[in-house]
Amino acid sequence: MSNTLTLTSLNVSELAQLLFATRLQASERPTSEQIRAAIDERLCACGGDRASCVAFVAQEAGDHPEAYAARMRWALRTVTDVYSGCAAAV
């Protein structure tokens, strides 16, 4: 099975990992469009490779453990809101 990802094949957890790895901040109150664009850009930046995307999140979690839980909660909540009703969030 290929590691290549497409936006429509991602579940909420995978979308949240991509959002986590972007430069967007909860304090910026990004729009749905900004969130979708940032996730798409991050997916492209990791070449659609699942391992690369996950490794980046793991590195950030290790580098900033004090912020990991809060940021991941924000990312999960945000992608659930943004992608609710979309096939990508199933």
Tell me the helix, strand and coil percentages in the chain, rounded to 5. 70, 0, 25
Whether residue 31 has pLDDT greater than 90: yes
43: buried, middle or exposed (CB in 10 Å: 19+, 13-18, 0-12)?
A: buried
Whether residue 29 has pLDDT greater than 90: yes
Q: How far is CA 13 from the centre of its chain?
A: 8
**How far is the C-alpha of 63 from the C-alpha of 48, rounded, in Å?**
23
- On the CB side of 83, CA atoms within 13 Å amount to 27
Residue 5's pLDDT is what?
A: 47
- pLDDT tens digits along 53-86: 778 888 888 888 888 999 999 999 999 999 886 6
